[in-house]
Amino acid sequence: MKIALDWLGQYLAPVPAAEVCAEALMNAGLPIESIEPHEATQVLDVEVTSNRPDCLSHVGVARELAALVGGTFKMPEAGARETGAAAATLTSVAVEDAEGCPYYSARVIQNVKVGPSPAWLVQRLESIGLRSVNNVVDITNFVLMESGQPLHAFDLERLAEKRIVVRRAKKGEKLIAIDAKTYELDESMLVIADGRVPQAIAGVMGGKVTEVMESTTSVLLESARFEPLTIRTTSRTLGLKSDSSYRFERGIDVTAAERASQRAAQLIVELCGGTLAPGVVAVGSAEAKAATVSLRLKRIPEILGITVPTERAVAILASLGFGPKLSGEVIKCTVPSHRLDVEREIDLLEEVARVYGYGHIPTLDRVSHPVQPEPAVEKAEKLIHASLLQAGFTETITITFVPKAEAEAFLPKGMGETIPLAHGGWNGEVLRPSLFPSLLAVRRTNQHAGIPDARVFEISETFWQEGDAAKKMPTQFRVLSILGNSVAEVRGAIEAVLYRLNAAAKVVVAPATYSWFVPGVAGSVAIEQGGKPKVLGCIGQFTQELQKRYSLKQSVCGVEIQLDPLIELFEPVRRATQLPRFPGVKRDLSVVVDEGVRWAEVEAAIRGSKLEHMEGVDFVTTFRNKQVGEGKKSLTLTLDFRDPGRTLTSEEVDAQVKSAMELLAGKFGAVLRA
């Protein structure tokens, strides 16, 4: 915003030197880009932040400087003698979109003589980079730069039916603007139309057909307010910007429209020799609702870190037009209509600070900030992510709602019901009770992209309703869901995660039935740590029906487990034991058992036997062939033995292996594989 000092002198007396003005504005949050001479004056290029549209005018900057450096501020005079027929008999205004245009006013000036502007007006405009057009147009631009309120002058005789209709554009409508370019309009754009077609793009630019020219004798003077987002959207869609749209986008003083209209009408009568029709044709309200904000005195030192004398704080707010009233330890203020940025107590604190001077706030050489340790929950989740990423899985983030049919396919009977969305969209109707439908859809997307074996995981919320929704809150769990290409793969992923969280805990899988998994290739997933295993989820291979539903060519397996109980097992500080001084002894044992014997049963039996010096037992593999026998299988396991105080002999270990074999033979009918 360019501000000419001689022009500024019309509203502020005395006007300080350019350097003084620049420093004061800079320190108050309005940086100065440059100071340039123009004929007998100097021009400041002020960088006005988006929250201070009140400073996009000479009056606004004058008001600001009066508070910052002192001086007398005065508003320009407005008002002219009205004669002749009432404006309401000469034109009419209809607003079809009150939301887009909260206020629209029209004044009529007749018998004007359009021609060159006087030298003082031309000089004012040229000093800030505007060219002179004619006296009427120059006056609207002058008042815009004076008050910050955009105006527009129409040739009344060229308006069809001599009336104004504020409405949205119709499909296919076009407008030749005053820049001589044709713009195609759409239904989202607000226009100023006459009785037939659009004659201006509201808040952006007027039309060529009704612009004021030398032949114009009657002027309809527009002064209005438009909804900022509407103007911004239209301006960007058309790639058309103007001084008016720049201000409307940021917000306009509610009361400025009427005052600016009177001011422009006065100047047109004075400089163009016209007569002002009595009254104004207006739709909407130009009155501002008085907003009050209070400032507690104790908050000044608490927030600013310095003490500002109460009298000085009150004086600052008074100079800015807030009408402060001190009531005990509180300053009550009425926000002036031009300060759209002031809504809360902290805004008043900022006003006090910037006028009092940021230089009064001491700068510390050192700033201390207490460093808090990373919460265990966050650290645990990072470990989970790291473990799965390192194992070759890719994290996904999917939408929380899914089609109802897909959700119900993963909700066991009797468990509850899905939760419908109030407004279901094309890609979802209910909140998902499982992450499986979302991950299977991701798998399908990857398959279409040439990656049929994508391995993915996600951590998110699941929801379903148990019982009467009016009496019982929905069930909600955070879960970890993993998709891979085999049960062993996804089980290994969970085991890797658990090992990183707590090496003492272990995964226990038991046969179970789930409608979405292949019978016999499904199980429950439990976590055991020094006690009874706790079931937290499920694991298995998805059925052929689901494979077809999601158009998957390769078989896919998944595991889903509740996250919070998993995180509760996390040990931020890992427990460690001293490295053994003496070597251990490993012995592999291959036994033939019935097909129905599970490894978990074998492991539990051996661990329960408490073989002397046994440190651990691990599964190696399962083997089946004709030699093993029909209905039989061979289990290979490894037994670890160690004595912390000495090296074990082969004879001692052989004896324990023999005891283990006798145990398995007696309990499961196991025989040593030849």
Residue 175's pLDDT is 96
Residue 61's pLDDT is 97
Give 345's Cβ-side CA count (13 Å radius): 13
Q: Are 114 and 135 spatial neighbours (Cβ–Cβ below 8 Å)?
A: yes
Residue 308's pLDDT is 94
Q: Does residue 181 surpass a pLDDT of 80?
A: yes
Q: Does residue 367 surpass a pLDDT of 90?
A: no
Secondary structure percentages of the chain, helix, strand, coil, to 5: 30, 30, 40
Amino acid at 195: G
- Report in angstroms the alpha-carbon separations of 670 from 99, 192, 662: 84, 94, 9
Does the bond joining 14 to the residue before it have cis omega, within 30 degrees of 0? yes
In the predicted model, what is the mean pLDDT of residues 493-498? 94
Q: Are 3 and 64 spatial neighbours (Cβ–Cβ below 8 Å)?
A: no
Residue 440's pLDDT is 96
Cite the beta strand spans of 400-448 per DSSP E: 401-402, 419-425, 428-431
pLDDT confidence of 576, banded at 50, 70, 90? confident
Q: Does residue 531 surpass a pLDDT of 80?
A: no
Q: Are 143 and 7 spatial neighbours (Cβ–Cβ below 8 Å)?
A: no
Residue 72's pLDDT is 94
pLDDT confidence of 412, banded at 50, 70, 90? confident
Q: Are 271 and 121 spatial neighbours (Cβ–Cβ below 8 Å)?
A: yes
pLDDT confidence of 586, banded at 50, 70, 90? very high
SS (H, E, C) 345-357: HHHHHHHHHHHHC
Residue 424's pLDDT is 62
Question: Please, what sign has the CA dihedral across residues 118, 121, 125, 127?
Answer: positive
435 three-class SS: coil
Percentage above 90 pLDDT, the chain: 80
Residue 227's pLDDT is 96
CB atoms < 10 A from the CB of 96, how many? Answer: 12
Amino acid at 589: L
Residue 428's pLDDT is 75
| Better pLDDT: 470 or 569 | 569
Residue 427's pLDDT is 66
Give per-residue burial for 610-638: e unless 16+ CB within 10 Å, then b.
Answer: ebebbeebeeeeeeeeeebeeebbbbebe
CB atoms < 10 A from the CB of 545, how many? Answer: 11
CB atoms < 10 A from the CB of 600, how many? Answer: 15
The CA R_g of the chain, rounded to the nearest whole Å, is: 40
| Better pLDDT: 530 or 253 | 253
| Better pLDDT: 456 or 610 | 456
- Using one digit for the tens of pLDDT, what is the confidence trace for 414-426? 788 888 887 765 5
Give per-residue burial for 516-530: e unless 16+ CB within 10 Å, then b.
Answer: bbbeebbbbbbbeee
In the predicted model, what is the mean pLDDT of residues 644-667? 92
In the predicted model, what is the mean pLDDT of residues 454-466? 94
Round to whole Å and give the CA distance between 348 and 413.
Answer: 60
Round to whole Å and give the CA distance between 462 and 437.
Answer: 11
CB atoms < 10 A from the CB of 14, how many? Answer: 10
CB atoms < 10 A from the CB of 95, how many? Answer: 19
Residue 426's pLDDT is 59
Round to whole Å and give the CA distance between 137 and 118.
Answer: 13
Distance of CA 285 to the CA centre of its chain: 33
- Using one digit for the tens of pLDDT, what is the confidence trace for 108-122? 999 999 999 999 999
Structure tokens that stand for 425 in this block: 């969209």
- Report in angstroms the alpha-carbon separations of 455 from 395, 450, 556, 603: 9, 13, 9, 30
Structure tokens that stand for 43 in this block: 């021009």
Closest CA to 542 of 512, 524, 522, 513: 522
- Using one digit for the tens of pLDDT, what is the confidence trace for 265-324? 999 999 999 899 999 999 999 888 889 999 999 999 999 999 999 999 999 999 999 999
CB atoms < 10 A from the CB of 658, how many? Answer: 10
Q: Does residue 529 surpass a pLDDT of 90?
A: no
Q: What is the DSSP string of 442-511?
A: HHHHHHHTT-TT--EEEEEEEEEB-S-TTTSPPEEEEEEEEEESSHHHHHHHHHHHHHHH-TT-EEEEEE
Q: Does residue 221 surpass a pLDDT of 90?
A: yes
Residue 651's pLDDT is 92
Q: Does residue 135 surpass a pLDDT of 80?
A: yes
Q: Are 541 and 518 spatial neighbours (Cβ–Cβ below 8 Å)?
A: yes
Contacts of 222 (CB under 8 A, 6+ apart): 104, 105, 106, 151, 152, 153, 154, 164, 192, 200
In the predicted model, what is the mean pLDDT of residues 611-625? 90
Q: Does residue 91 surpass a pLDDT of 70?
A: yes
Give per-residue burial for 210-242: e unless 16+ CB within 10 Å, then b.
Answer: bbbeeebebbbbbbbbbbbebbbebbeebebeb
Q: Does residue 467 surpass a pLDDT of 90?
A: no
Round to whole Å and give the CA distance between 373 and 517.
Answer: 42
pTM: 0.62
Outline where 32-147 has alpha helix (H): 58-69, 119-127, 135-147
- Using one digit for the tens of pLDDT, what is the confidence trace for 314-337? 999 999 999 999 999 999 999 999
pLDDT confidence of 525, banded at 50, 70, 90? very high
pLDDT confidence of 79, banded at 50, 70, 90? confident
Q: Are 437 and 406 spatial neighbours (Cβ–Cβ below 8 Å)?
A: yes
Structure tokens that stand for 666 in this block: 């007696």
Residue 475's pLDDT is 87
- Report in angstroms the alpha-carbon separations of 427 from 399, 548, 666: 9, 19, 58
Residue 127's pLDDT is 96
| Partners of 175 in the β-ladder | 183
Strand arrangement, sheet containing 291-296: 291-296, 330-335, 325-327
In the predicted model, what is the mean pLDDT of residues 530-542? 90
Greatest extent of the chain over all pairs of C-alpha atoms, in Å = 127
Pairing mode of beta strands 163-168, 92-95: parallel
Amino acid at 43: V
Round to whole Å and give the CA distance between 253 and 251.
Answer: 7
Domains and CATH numbers, the chain: 2-73 (3.30.56.10), 87-284 (3.50.40.10), 291-359 (3.30.56.10), 376-568 (3.30.930.10), 585-672 (3.30.70.380)
Percentage above 70 pLDDT, the chain: 99
